Amino acid sequence: MKRFAFALLGLALSACASTSVSTEQTAAPSAFQPANPLPANVTVSEANWYSEQVRVSGRLFQPAGPANGAARAAVVLAPGWGETAETLDAYAGELAAQGIVALTVDYRGWGRSGAYLYLGEPLATYDKMRFSEQTPELVFRRGRLDPEHQVQDLRNAITFLQSLPGVDRAKIGVLGIDMGGGHVISVMSMDTRIRAGVAVTPLIYGQGEEEKSFMPDAATQAELIKLAREGAPPKTEAAARARNKEEERLALREYKPFWRLDAVPQTAAVRFIIAETDDEIDNIVHARSAARELKGPSDVKSLPGALHKLTPTQTNEAAKLAAEWFKQRL
């Protein structure tokens, strides 16, 4: 049998783009450093693992000192839409100060994590070609917002966290901010490893919408056809920004974490932390309605006078409420 050698030898183009993150922000970061001063009894280090063969990075916050022989509870933390791991430092630091291991996540294509990787040109291969030697063009895409991929990144972060020495695999929680709060529901509906969750100012889309199969309107159908027929990887930053935005719109039309509430086990406990005067979302439509739908323990804590984007003081208050919940429920 004739055999061909296959090797990826070229690296020709990097398309780093997003409508919400600048080229500078998506460039390779400098040596890891915590963004904020840490509590005295907390250590932090960079962590790396893989999500569907993409290297994902995060920040691992651990209580300093011995655990007196007992394995520790642990929590994965999900950033908001278009944000990165360091935005969760206050939450992770508070959890670690309270004796809980905390892992913040950079979704794939964001922060310190690897990018989406595509062939930039057609490559002639077929099943009978065991090996083939080629020099293809590769395209890296960053800043792409795909909620279902982010949910998978969080689930793989849970697996990585459970692999760490000193972590109690039976005491795992998840915390999310903004869209990450919706991911809390998605992850808990799919993964029974999660015993407790906290959703901060969460976006939980789907309330009041009929649960039915996806039916695109005419404009959406036209976008889908365009991607199916002309969807080769973009080769300029402007084209990548436009493609990211287009794919983001399509993904959000199908992402309905509210529909998944019924699948969250009744043994799992969820706390919702909302901004009393949220200026971006209706808390009744999102957190309060979600709390009523859950079969297991849940509650809603409101931050007085807070807008959707919390101040540092309000963030610290929310972090304490989150740590309190996980200490009770894990």
| Selection from 232, 35, 229 nearest residue 118 by Cα | 232
Considering the domain boundaries, does residue 155 fall inside one? yes
Considering the domain boundaries, does residue 126 fall inside one? no
d(CA 94, CA 96): 5
Total domains present in the chain: 1
pTM for the predicted model, two decimal places? 0.86
pLDDT for 66-105, tens place per residue?
Answer: 667 789 999 999 999 999 999 999 999 999 999 999 999 9
Cβ neighbours around 222 below 10 Å, total: 11
Q: How does residue 311 score in pLDDT terms, banded at 50, 70 and 90?
A: very high
pLDDT for 21-62, tens place per residue?
Answer: 323 333 444 556 666 677 788 999 999 999 999 999 999 999
Range of the structural domain that residue 282 is part of: 36-109+144-211+256-329
Q: What is the b/e burial string over 297-309, where b = at least 16 CB atoms within 10 angstroms of the residue's CB?
A: ebebbbbeebebe
Q: Which two tokens stand for residue 304?
A: 């007085």
Predicted confidence at residue 145, as pLDDT, reads 92
Considering the domain boundaries, does residue 162 fall inside one? yes
Considering the domain boundaries, does residue 243 fall inside one? no
No. of helices (H) and no. of strands (E), the chain: 8, 13
Considering the domain boundaries, does residue 193 fall inside one? yes
CATH (domain of 182):
3.40.50.1820
Predicted confidence at residue 167, as pLDDT, reads 96
Query: Is residue 76 within 8 Å of 105, Cβ to Cβ?
Result: yes
Considering the domain boundaries, does residue 13 fall inside one? no
